[in-house]
Chains A and B, each alone.
Chain A
Amino acid sequence: MRTEERGASGGLWPASLGWLLVNRFQVALYVLFLPDVLIHPYMIWIILLVGVLSHFNLRILSKWLQTEEARLGYEGFVRVLGGRAVRLLAVPAAVVILLESSILTLDYLEVSHHVLFPSVSKLTFLPLLWLASVYLASQGMILTGRFVIIAFIGSLWIMTLFLQFLFPPVADYAMLLPLVPQKWDDNIPYILLTLWAAMAGPQYLAFTGSRFASTSGMFRWLALGNALSVLEYVVFFLAVTLAFGPEYMRKLDYPVVQLVRYIELPFFERLETIVVPFHMIVYIFLDAFFILILRDVLRIATGNAGQAKGFFGLAAVLWLVFIYLFGKYFWASETRHLFWIHFNSWLTGAAYALVPSFLALAALWRKRKRKRS
């Protein structure tokens, strides 16, 4: 598209954009909801543990991104996996992308609907969000990637509002005790999975290797993004625990949003009417990103991988129709929607664990094969 050329004039993405991308991907869903498994104060160690595991996973991802094949885009995937395999994987990939972005978006719209406009259906917000995402996506992947800077600034300030809850007199540190319990919760594996899924998201960067101007030193940036996400989770978790207390927190649906409603600034009260809409910018960015990946996947699936144009309209409309129908028929009641969130945990958790390792191993195997021959 002509806009693809526009983006190229400012240059491809610098490697340092990686940290913003990783951070916004990781923080997207769970900041507003804070996984309902975080019920004890000592869960903070589990957050840190998952952060460390994610750190190592990102090392594998950066190894993949630094190979030559990742930098080539579609060509590189064909070289590593074979043309037929890539085409075969395209269809399940499309389904995964559609499901993940539907769940992500519908969850956010659920919060918007619940908190701001209880009598307006979420399906009214959806086409508007879609319009903004499509507008962004129509500018091409390079410009969309750059937009993460704006998305970051637009949503990071929310964390600063929570810092007031970390200090006395509002905070009663006794609520945090005991921090190192003798008896841990029974559900540790499930908790680990949910938190791992919360940190998932950067695996999609594996498909954008060709947009980076250079990937040397990539790991540094990915790790920085990861560290910032962990910090954000810890701050939100601490603020919520200190403000509500562990038992009360368990009873609330969206503890973070409820806490935002409690903030009182000199001229402003009820800040959730500003915070929840501002969070939309992250979702618009993510949805645009997903629409563009969907477009590429559709091109591959229909065998038109070499084309530089086309399939964008199809991807955009397909995305909208899928989410609209999904939202209308599969998202009706709260129990349904809890099921989808758990499903999403499994889906993204598996993707985050498998995709970087799979690709890195495949590249390594190919390199070994080439060395041998």
Chain B
Amino acid sequence: MNPSKRHLRFSLIFLFCLFGLFIFVIKLISIQVFKSSYLSTLAEKQHNYFVELEPKRGGIYDRRLRPLAVNVAAYSLYAKPRQMTATMKKMAVEELNETLGLDKGYLENRFSRNKYFVWIARKLSFPVAEKIKALKIDGLDFIKESQRYYPDQSLAAHLIGFAGMDNKGLEGLELKYDHYLQGEYGLSQIIRDAHNRELLIERGFIPPKNGFDLVLTIDETIQYIAERALQEGFEKHHAQGAMIIVIDPKTGEILALANRPTFDLSTFSASSTESRRNRAVVDMYEPGSVFKIVTAAAALEENKVKESDPFFCEYGEYKVGGHILHDHTKHGVLTFQQVIELSSNIGTTKIAQFLGAATVYKYAKLFRFGSPTGINLLGEVRGVLKDPRQWSKTSISAVPIGQEVTVTALQLVCAIAAIANDGVYMQPLVVKYIRDQEGQVIKEFTPQVLAKVISPETAKRLRQILKGAVDNGTGKMAKIEEASVGGKTGTAQKVVNGQYSHDKFYASFIGFAPAENSKIAVVVVVDEPHPSYYGGTVAAPIFRKVTEDVLKYLATNQAPKNIITLNNRSSQ
């Protein structure tokens, strides 16, 4: 080969290499300089993984810190259809249909989607998730979430309410105190490798702030006692609905609140809106004879009558404003005490006529009828109490016996509790305090006096009259052996299409026990009981059952009377 040719070949090869090098340099400059930020962002995205850290939703506890609503781990199943072969998809459909009972059509539809992420089932329990994991199907994975768990199922369902799929409160206290319960999300930056495997290297970490716990005034055992008796009465009397509230008259703390029909908190989505209504707070009705406590309180407080003052009860028929008023039983002359004990409509009307409309209205207002009690629950209604200027000619024979006035069960129990508490009306409470996860109290709801309705002396006299109503009057079925009981029965006609119905009633009983130094006040209301419909025969036995057990239960918290020392077997 001649030298010039060899030189040319060498030059060509050299130029080719130089060109190659030049291309590499250009590419390198392009990567390092021009595409630098784009590529580093891409790498960041691939390796860094941000995980939102779910806070622990605060629990709801009863007054003795027994759990009513807690959080448990739940496992949400998802699929990665893009990474799955047809055989894998077929296998997954078959297995999940068998394990989860999900429809094959639904599963096939989910797996046919050309996506990287498809939800299959949300919030599965731990054992179910374990079963699916054991199948070892590629392309299926879980995301750990938390789920609300209500160990008492339907107990206090209307009070507690429930939280939805995203752990946000939807009803009851779960909704009312959602901002305290939910907490704040945290963030964690995790590194993952080329195979998308997470490494235990955290680059950034903002811890989640867990929600606060809610401690209620409710006592789980008393709630159970109340619900058991209410359910029994509700079924026995084939009622449309029923409500019960047990309150501590000294503090206004609600110890139990229940409604029928009810629902299971763990399957709330399957329940009807009708069964989820907290009737005791949001439903108002004409109370009937239980409202006579207001007329009686007014008469005693104004010093207008004495227990022994006689009232002629017209033998069961009395004309007021063109309307004839009847008594259930015909009475002649009754004392003031007997008028209340035997629940005479005519006697009560005569007392009200003697007092005047303004006085009856004044005391009804003092007992906070027609006004919300201010309880920390959602949707409380105020009821209706008309100003005397709007009263008709017959109103003086209607309002004092609990007609032309509507109330809630909550207003009634607060009123009877005020009588049991020497005339002091306490603010009803369902939340005792809110605490953080360390147990530090964040917010406390202390008992508050709302009003002094009547004097302690009047309250004492009224308690004696109401004790008489149980011992000798219409409330005999509320009597218990262990303690004296005071109370008042009520049987109110329901208003249907603007007319008083003759076959639809509200049967109610309000009372307290023991009659002196009362531990509890209770209201029981049964909506449309059949065939019996009297407050004394329908609601009073429910009251008795609850009061009997609650007083025994409360006594177990005190030191027992009998102490036996084991060594010398002496008994005190």
Bind each other: no
Q: Which residues of A contact B (CB under 8 A)?
A: none
Q: Which residues of B contact A (CB under 8 A)?
A: none
